[in-house]
Structures are given as C-alpha cells and as structure tokens.
Amino acid sequence: MTTERRPIPVMIPMLGEEEAQAAADAVRSGWVAQGPRVAEFERRFAAAVGAEHGVAVSSCTTALHLALVLLEVGPGDEVIVPSLSFIATANAVRYVGATPVFADVDLATGNVTVKTVDAVRTSRTRAVIAVHQGGVPFDVVALRGAAASWGVALVEDAACAAGSTAYGAPVGSGAAIAAWSFHPRKLITTGEGGMVTVDGANEAVRLRRLREHGMNVSAADRHASAKPILEAYLETGYNYRMTDIQAAVGLVQLDRLAGIIAQRRALAGRYQEMLSDLDGAIPVRDPAYGEANYQSFWVLLTPEFGASRDEVLAELAAQGVSARRGIMAAHLEPAYEDVAPPSLPVTERLTRESLILPLHHALTEGDQEHIVGVLRKLAGR
C-alpha cells in the first residue's frame, strides 16, 4: 500500500502562538489603531535594516506611492522601473501621474543595473525604482553612485529583502529611501502592511503626516497630551496607516528574522547543491557583493533542460508540488499594453523560462528530494 504524499506549498508564513498572543494583547489593551506598538515596530525595524527612521504603512504599494509623493514626482516626469517585478512597482508611478519606463535586468540576479537603467534614461527621468528582486540585492554601490551622478532620485523597492545584505551591510543601510512589505509571502509578515525607511528626520515627519490624511499631529500624540490639541491638515494626505494589532505581530516576527534567514539560506544552499549537476537548470545564487534572504528561490530552465517551464509546472502540480511561474513582466500585462517598452530580452526570458520552487520553514529534506526528483525525471526529454 502506498501512502499519499502531503501537498508541498510554495510558501507558508511562520506564525505561531506568540503572534496570536501578541495580537490578543493588543486587542485587550484597548488601543488597536495606529499607536505605541506601531511606533516600537518602526524603531526596531529601522534599526534592523540599518536605517535612521521607519514609517509604518498599510502595504509596500502605499510605501512606494508615498516615496514618490515625498520626492514630488508627478505628471511629465519619467520613473525608470524594472518590468520584471510585481506590478505594484510600476503602478505606483502611475498613482502620481508620472510615466513608468521599463528597464531590462541582469540574467543572474533579476535586477536592474547601471547599464540597463542608463540605456532608457532621458532628460525627463526624475527617479529610478530599483527592486531587490526576490531578496537578491542589487549592486547598491554602483546604482546609488550612478543615480547621484545623474541627479536622479533612487527609491529602493526592498519589498522582499528584509535581512538581505550588500557589501556587508543590511539592505536598507545607506538607502535614501526604501519601501518594504510584510505581506504573507515575505519573510516576516503582519498580514498586510509595509514600511518606508529614510535617513532624514524631516522626510520621516512628512511621511507620517502623509500617511494620516495630512494631519500635523497623530492620534497617539493627541491621546497622550494632557491638554486638548486641535489638529490641522497641512496637505492632501492618505489613509495609509498600520494598526497596533499588525505591529504587535510584526514585533514577534522581527525577533524570528535571523532564524528564518539562516534556515532559508540553508535550504537554498541544499537546492543549489542538488541541482548543480542538472544540465539546463540554473538556480538563483548570491551575487558576489552580497547575500540573499531567498524570499523566492527561482530556477532558470535553458533549452538544454528538455522540457518547457510550463510542462515542469504542470508535472510538479501533478506530483503535489505547488511551484509558481517566474517573476511577472509588467509590460506584458494588459494594464500596460499602451506602453511601448524598449527591447527587454532578459526580462522576457526570465519571466518565460523560470519557475519558483517551494521554500519555507516547513520544507523538509524529503520534500526537496521529491521536488528535485521530479525535475530530474523531466530533464532531457
């Protein structure tokens, strides 16, 4: 008699009793909206990624939006973005009325480079949003230096990159402005939620105002004051706040981050070793200048592999493995069919020929052997 194998999901958030208790404590405290736990989460997260200030928001998408508002990017401006990214990266540009311009990426890292950005840069370029794709850091020294020489703002989309490093420092350290995600697919989660990190105190003050309807004093500050405070609304803002319930979960998750990264890097290393002799299957690896947190573990299938990416996905699904297609290309989606992109051969190859394998805390060595075994059976067809 054969035993049916349990399904292997592509991702499982690491949540436990500690997070449940923290959320319950927040509910019992009577302060469930943005309050003291949010402030503590902001301080601790900023410290963890090497930034001076953290401003918690409702998602990484709203973080990117606020970053562009802070930079006063608007109609008539161009913002260079990778097409190879979740569509929110490009959407944030449209939120401020600017024009997204798609840049190609490096085949090994999936990230934009100085060369690919410079190839599409024009006199209208006001900013670049560079993504640390799947937790693989882009070359921060090269791109920050180039952006400064061009007089162009650099926004780092670090949605997937909490705990990744570049040149020996955390991703986020030295970034003028970075946006982060706490979606359940990320290493640490608050359900939904995001963060903007900046090094300037004035920028942090304005971001806090923008996330709360443009109000000059927060609800927490009004509550803490012994005297009545009459707030003023200094500019058009947004309702992009994080709740204390989410922040309570985030604080517990932050304590887990180092262990999560260590485990994911060990699992990624094992995948890399197991796939090292498989012709036509090229796994993602650390770049020479940094270490990935492996938020996503992707494999590029070359023609030598013998089976198409979609055939591999179908067979993995039939064998109980929930893999995913490679990172999407925004310029191929209907929402951007009105944008005439430059030639993006690497982007289109990666989105067409790569797949994302399961990687999470519950993944066992037996699971990895099963997954790679399916790939080996398909190889060479």
Tally the C-alpha atoms within 13 A of residue 362's C-alpha that lie toward its C-beta. 11
Stated length of the chain: 381
Neighbours of 349 (CB within 10 A): 18
What CA–CA distance (Å, rounded) separates 195 from 350? 28
Active site residue 186: yes
- Asked if 63 contacts 57 with a C-beta cutoff of 8 angstroms, the reply is yes
What CA–CA distance (Å, rounded) separates 289 from 313? 32
- Asked if 293 contacts 262 with a C-beta cutoff of 8 angstroms, the reply is no
For residue 57, the SS3 value is strand
Residues 6 or more apart from 347 whose CB is under 8 A from it?
82, 83, 84, 102, 104, 105, 329, 331
Sheet holding 99-103, edge to edge: 53-57, 194-198, 177-181, 153-157, 125-131, 78-82, 99-103
Strands, E assignment, 74-152: 78-82, 99-103, 125-131
- Asked if 138 contacts 155 with a C-beta cutoff of 8 angstroms, the reply is no
What CA–CA distance (Å, rounded) separates 156 from 153? 10
The greatest distance separating any two alpha carbons of the chain, rounded to the nearest whole angstrom, comes to: 76
Active site residues: 186
